[in-house]
Structure 1
Amino acid sequence: MIRVFLVDDHPIVRDGLRTVLTAEPLLEVVGEASNGQELLAQLPGTPADVVLLDLNMPVLDGLATTHELQKQHPDLRILMLSMMTHERTIGELLEAGAHGYLLKNADKAEIVTAIHAVAAGKRFLCSDIGLALLEKLLTSETESSAPSPENAIHLTHREREILQLVANGLTNQQIADQLFTSRRTVETHRQSLLEKTGVKNTPALIKYAMEQGLLDS
């Protein structure tokens, strides 16, 4: 039996994960917390094998929690859960001690597979991230002989969609409604766009996108 601890600041996310995991005969949800500080406080009295850890949380976020878990509970396996697709962020988390990375839009089968993998001492990277990195690598190799802009960046299909809608003047909620997703997911992608482009605000982001030809005419 694999003992799983759920950590996410949204109760509805924890409820969904608990429903998925309790249906699995080899998995047991032993605890829940809304941030890293609550997790660290509960772990001494609630032994676990795998912690399913959200990245963006108040009080103590996923990255800071990962560092603390490595110090206080080095045997605990850490499976990150996020909507962030930026490879730099994923790299920082894996370097900090996370054993796997899973997107929140993963299906039930992939979630269960990921938990079993990290519990068995393996590393796990969700299929969407793995395929995106492979696509980027293949594209890079294909274009290696051609000159490219010094500041070229790689955007996912969803990031390009959101960038276009931002440039069209839509609010986060309007974008979420149009793409049938949550406002928080849109906010996460917008933050990822700012990080990738290196700009500080929306006007600068739109200006950058226009200069780089990233917007539809």
Structure 2
Amino acid sequence: MIKVLLADDETMVRAGVRAILAAAPDIEVVAEAGDGREALELARAHRPDVALLDIRMPVLDGLGAATELRRAVPEVAVVMLTTFSEDAYITEALDSGVSGFLLKSGDPYELMAAIRAVHGGAAFLSPQIAHRVIRQVSGGRMSRQSAARERIAVLSPREREVLALVAAGLSNGEIGERLFLVEGTVKAYVSAMLTRLDLRNRVQAAVLAHEAGLVPED
């Protein structure tokens, strides 16, 4: 069972998300918060697997809560849930170490898919957010691509394979099946890769892989 902490200052939104997740037999909402500070306290108490955070909340907003959660309860995967899709929010969220970014206007099944993905060690961006990230990557493409390729030159061929599959949204288990590796070995590859590239999370790794041209664009 995947334990979820839900944080949103709107009671109706929390009720709607809770109702959606109630239909998933493998997901359980174990705590709810109305602001970021309360979410942080509940995360320490309940140790959820995934935290769904609204980006705009009183006392401490979602971005601030995500940053503190990564320090205080680093095992919790953070998914940002928001009605806002400005580039600044995307950039700040990625820098905060979130594993997923969803728009509240998205398909309810995206919510379940995101929770399962980040719990499995993958990253998840809603299609609208992914398109914006790719457009950012595409700006000044040649110079970005050259810099990204130079950056990943330190990786071994196997590590590049792993990076490309991380960018494709595969979990450690799925990567292991694809490359005929045990999941623990994949986890070690991912951890070493993030350290060598000085990346905070799999989302940043995915962006770098796109910049370097490791992943074909649609």
Band of TM-score, shorter chain: 0.5 to 0.7
> Equivalent residues in 2 for 1:15-30 (5 A)?
15-30=15-30
What is the CA–CA distance in structure 2 between the aligned matches of 1:138 and 1:40, rounded to whole Å? Answer: 36
> Equivalent residues in 2 for 1:46-65 (5 A)?
46-65=46-65
Contact 2:44–2:72, Cα closer than 8 Å, also in 1:
no
Higher relative contact order (CA 8 A, sep 6+): 2
Q: Post-superposition shift, 1:135?
A: 5.3
Q: Classify 1:19/1:137 alpha carbon distance in 2 versus 1 (closer, same or farther; 3 Å).
A: same
Residue type at the aligned position of 2:127: S
2:80 is aligned to 80
List runs of 5+ in structure 1 lacking aligned partners.
Answer: 142-217
Q: Deviations over 1:47-102 (max 9, x none)?
A: 20000000000001011111110110011000001122122221111111111100
1:31 aligns with 2:31: yes
Q: Which runs of at least 4 in structure 1 moved beyond 4 Å after TM superposition?
A: 135-141
Q: Identity over the aligned pairs, expressed in percent?
A: 40
Q: Which has the larger radius of gyration?
A: 1
1:69 is aligned to 69
1:185 is aligned to none
TM-score of the superposed pair, with normalisation by structure 2: 0.61
Q: Post-superposition shift, 1:37?
A: 0.9
Residue type at the aligned position of 2:48: A
1:41 is aligned to 41
Residue type at the aligned position of 2:54: D
Q: Classify 1:52/1:139 alpha carbon distance in 2 versus 1 (closer, same or farther; 3 Å).
A: same
Q: Classify 1:74/1:89 alpha carbon distance in 2 versus 1 (closer, same or farther; 3 Å).
A: same
Q: Post-superposition shift, 1:27?
A: 0.4
Moved more, 73-82 or 128-137: 128-137
Q: Classify 1:139/1:93 alpha carbon distance in 2 versus 1 (closer, same or farther; 3 Å).
A: closer
Residue type at the aligned position of 2:65: T
2:12 is aligned to 12
What is the CA–CA distance in structure 2 between the aligned matches of 1:99 and 1:39, rounded to whole Å? Answer: 17
Q: Post-superposition shift, 1:136?
A: 6.3
List runs of 5+ in structure 2 lacking aligned partners.
Answer: 142-218
Residue type at the aligned position of 1:37: R
2:180 is aligned to none
1:108 is aligned to 108
TM-score of the superposed pair, with normalisation by structure 1: 0.61
Q: How many residues align?
A: 141
**Superposition CA RMSD, Å:** 1.7
Contact 2:80–2:98, Cα closer than 8 Å, also in 1:
yes
What is the CA–CA distance in structure 2 between the aligned matches of 1:126 and 1:140, rounded to whole Å? Answer: 24
Moved more, 29-38 or 123-132: 123-132
What is the CA–CA distance in structure 2 between the aligned matches of 1:44 and 1:135, rounded to whole Å? Answer: 37
Q: Deviations over 1:122-176 (max 9, x none)?
A: 11110112234445666877xxxxxxxxxxxxxxxxxxxxxxxxxxxxxxxxxxx
